[in-house]
Structure 1
């Protein structure tokens, strides 16, 4: 994982599937779990989905809050 990957989780949107257009950090846990069971796609999107799954699975979503674009506007 690269530190900039955390920022990508709150800015990059899902490019395909049922949740296309949804920010990766906002994907439902059951959708992330489906990828964990069935296999993550190749490339950057797969790497980001896997990272988001680990963050969600380990209850670490609070780490992303200060990185969200709207959080920076209030600071």
Structure 2
């Protein structure tokens, strides 16, 4: 797996779900079962899919705090 770059992680930390039941929730705050469901169904194409796949990996490894720390220390521009 490639290491996401700094700017990607900062953007991920401030991105909210654009549609559906969890519209408006930060991607890192999506319920784990929902992200796992996307993993089994297939992530959307494009940047959102990349971000959701990264969220899946972070949640799988218990690393959500990395993104929460970015949210605190790197406010949205």
Structure (1 or 2) with the greater helix fraction:
1
> Could you say whether these structures have the same fold, taking a TM-score greater than 0.5 normalized by the shorter chain as the test?
yes
TM-score, normalised by the number of residues in structure 2: 0.82
Runs of 4+ in structure 1 off by over 6 angstroms are: none
| Aligned position for 1:13 | 16
TM-score, normalised by the number of residues in structure 1: 0.84
Aligned match for 1:36, one of 34, 39, 42: 39
What 5-or-longer segments of structure 1 have no aligned partner?
Answer: none
CA RMSD of aligned residues (A): 1.5
| CA distance in structure 1 between the aligned counterparts of 2:68 and 2:56, rounded to whole angstroms | 16
What 5-or-longer segments of structure 2 have no aligned partner?
Answer: none
